[in-house]
Amino acid sequence: MVFVNPPYSSFMKWVNRAVDAWEAGECETIVMLGPVRTDSQTFQRRVARLADVGLMAERLRFLTLSGVRNPIPVSLMVMVFGGRRDQIDDFAQRVPAIWLPRNT
- The domain spans of the chain are 2-100
Q: What is the pLDDT of residue 68?
A: 87
Q: How far apart are CA 22 and CA 29, in angstroms?
A: 7
Q: What is the pLDDT of residue 102?
A: 78
Q: What phi, psi does 91 have (nearest 5°)?
A: -60, -45
CATH architecture observed for domain 2-100:
2-Layer Sandwich (3.30)
Flag whether the pTM goes above 0.95: no
pLDDT beyond 80 at 88 = yes
Q: How far apart are CA 68 and CA 52, in angstroms?
A: 33
Summarize the confidence of residues 46-72 as an average pLDDT: 89
